Amino acid sequence: MTHDQLMQALSPVRLPTPMAILSTAEMAALLALGIIAGLVLALAVLPFTRRRAARPRLRVAALRGLPVPDRLLAIARLLGHLPAALRPAAYGAAPPPSDRRIEAIARGARLRRPWRR
């Protein structure tokens, strides 16, 4: 008997009926494994895709070399608004506060976001 004759003489492979069809328990187990794998993947990717919070403290400290009016304008742009304690100095109604006082006020001010009101 040759190899080709032997291959033709073999009957087709048949699986038992329970192995050919997924049961409800097997489908639920596969769904659970898929959800767990998705969560693990999401947690692994999260540190790379998370929006990083701006560090206003470092940015405010970088503005130290600017003249006071420019510095107040830069702080207003950085925060999205000018803190109430700095408004008189910005409009010339009061003398400008010290550099440390400006930084303290800017650090204590809340960052305004236009999409959250």
Mean pLDDT by 10 residues, the chain (117 residues): 86 76 92 98 88 64 85 86 89 87 82 54
The predicted pLDDT at position 57 comes to 58
Burial 69-100 (b: 16+ CB within 10 A, else e): eebbebbbebbeebbebbeebbeeeeebbeee
The predicted pLDDT at position 117 comes to 44
Sign of the Cα pseudo-torsion (39, 42, 44, 47, in order): negative
DSSP letter for each residue of 6-40: HHHHSPPP---HHHHS--HHHHHHHHHHHHHHHHH
